[in-house]
Structure formats: structure tokens, C-alpha cells
Structure 1
């Protein structure tokens, strides 16, 4: 149950950071926090996959029964799922911020001005 309480707390903290960024008007920072929120939301699915892999390894290389393997693998799978998801999403966020876009600019420089100049100039 401690794992579920920690997961809930992490989800709430990430959601609050995303809302605060959105309220400050920083769309890029809010998008990063929203991406992290998706990663935290998917932790139970990742825990199932990692747990299945850990159980398969234990059943292959040890004499433990299925119940014992599941009981032994569950805590590791839960904590590894949080770590795996947050590390992967951070790598994705960092890569997205430094990869060149089609416009030739870096990903961190995606905001453009909304002013069109004088009233006589044509709109893009």
C-alpha cells in the first residue's frame, strides 16, 4: 500500500506543477509536466510488464513456485516501473528540446510572435 500512496502523491504533485505552469502562461513547461503526468499515469501498466518479466526470469532460473515468484517480484516491479517511466519520459523531453525542427531551429525555441506588423501588411 505504501507504493500506491507514493504513486498517488507523485501524480498529484506532477499535476499541480503542470497546472501552475499553465496558469503562469508557460505552455512549453506545462507540456513537459503533462508528459510526465502521462508517464506517472502509465506506471501500473509498466509494473505489470516488468513484473511479468521478473516472474519469468525467476521461474526460469530458480526453484520457486509461481506464487512465491509473484510475491517476490511485485515490490521490485512497482518501484522499477516508477523509475523506468520517469527516466524514459525525461530522456524524451530532453531529446525533444534539442532536436532540430523543420524550420531549422532547436526544439526549445518554438514560440513565435503573434504580431503581424502594420495593418496594411498581408497576413501570413
Structure 2
């Protein structure tokens, strides 16, 4: 999980752990990229919060790079600037699901399932 604001992550971390995930957090997309490149198979999902990020374009470029390095990694992008949750393939070049924050526990569960489904569909059609 990549975020610049830690307070929003504490509850979300618990929700992911409740789904059986081991959660690693960082405030640097570069650190996340290095960890993904080091061991692609250790990652089941990447969650990136745009709120508080200094350079959103840098994050988008990084997510495009993640797609090149490991297409099979589902990505959820979260931002308060989004107008609504988007479970479609609209932003599939950079993420599998985008969520408007704040998010609920139910929304997170649905987002994880849909991100995996969208990622599988994207990879089969590519």
C-alpha cells in the first residue's frame, strides 16, 4: 500500500488483514516499485492513494511501469478527487479499480474482488 497520509491507512490495513492479506505500507511509489521488481510473486495486490502525493503524474508513470513489469498484479487507485468509485475497465492502463475516498469496508472487499476479475480479463484480452 502506497500512501502519503498514514491516518487513512490504519483502518484499511486492518480490513485487508481481515481478508487474509499481509500488508506492507510505504509513502514512496519508488520503494514499492523496487519491492515489486525484487519479488513479483510476493505481491497479490497494489493499493495506491493519490491524496497527499506531490506529483500525481509521477505516480501514473510508475503505475504504467508496474503494468509492464507485472501485468498480473491487480492495482487499486484511491483518491478523494475521483467523482465516484469506478469498477469498470476505464482506467485499466494504470489500475483495475479506482475508489473515491473515504472508502467503506464493504467497498474495499468488492474492490479487491473486482480488481482481480478486471485484471484477469485485461490479461486474457491483451
The normalised TM-score by structure 2 is 0.34
Higher radius of gyration, 1 or 2:
1
Give the helix-richer structure, 1 or 2: 1
The normalised TM-score by structure 1 is 0.34
